[in-house]
A = this chain, B = another copy of it.
């Protein structure tokens, strides 16, 4: 049996950090051997430093780790980071320059011209950008990012449709879970009996309008070329713990019937299916026939929280078709996404 790779979790005490630790317990290839967090937590045992929020128990092997500061001195084979973007910007580059592969959930580097914004099922070829990134960050280290929690779910049915029919325009309105804001995050006085529009004062809308274009675009001639799709997003925080719901309308480049559109989504297959990555859901998209689905509480955990659940496709009088989707924001949309990225890199022999 091969030795497991030693993973350091950066921002280990946060909501995504906790999910990473939960999901990596008993992982066949990876093992959490180091935890790093802000200076407030550094020096404490992980169990003391963390307000554990998950229903399953904190893994004992991690509970007893001492939290370290977020520096290249953390001893591990790969770093998985969910650092706040203010910190991630510089720390992740430092880590990479020190020779560390950095799998990041932070937003800081996602849109950089030499950083793959990666979803293994969607754009594994974007890893080719690392050859250019190496000019900036020589050595064995590098940075690979996953998208925003809302962009990820959205991009699955869009990829299915874009491949098959081409996409002209996408309009999306989101109803997002509170866990997406981290901890303490959303104040209960704000969200009880309420909906909060324009997450991050519109910053979230911007991510959802731009990240899918890179994800669905191409790496060509050493540069990313955005997919030429008009995107419009309105984001909202709703009173749900986990699971982002999105109401989507699309305009296709080619005519297609409702059944063809639904079939294209249902039959979406991923280029990585044959790789048998441990965290990859099979299939990646589940299509529900009931118009009253998907629902966050019922559908967020499907495929171990890694499947994207799409409702029935309906004609739209303004664009062409409309549908809803739901995905688990801290699993498929964050921790699980990063782990799946690490798995792809591992399988491709890019992790040490």
Contact = CB atoms under 8 A, between A and B. Distances in A.
Contact of A169 (B175, B194, B201, B318): B318
Contacts of A186: 187-189
A317 B192 contact: no
**Chain copies in complex:** 4
Given A291-B198, A318-B171, A249 B236 contact: no
A196 B230 contact: no
A287 to B, nearest CB: 14
A209 interface: yes
Contacts of A171: 171, 249, 316, 318-319
Contacts of A190: 184, 188
Given A175-B175, A185-B187, A209-B317, A198 B292 contact: yes
Nearest to A184: B187
A55 interface: yes
A324 B173 CA distance: 11
Interface residues of A, number: 58
A175 B192 contact: no
A19 B236 CA distance: 28
A192 B241 contact: yes
Interface of A: 15, 53, 55, 169-171, 173, 175, 178-179, 183-198, 201-202, 209, 230-232, 234, 236, 238-241, 245, 247, 249, 251, 291-298, 301, 311, 316-319, 322, 324
Per CB-CB distance, the 3 closest pairs between chain A and chain B, nearest first, are: A184-B187, A173-B173, A194-B297
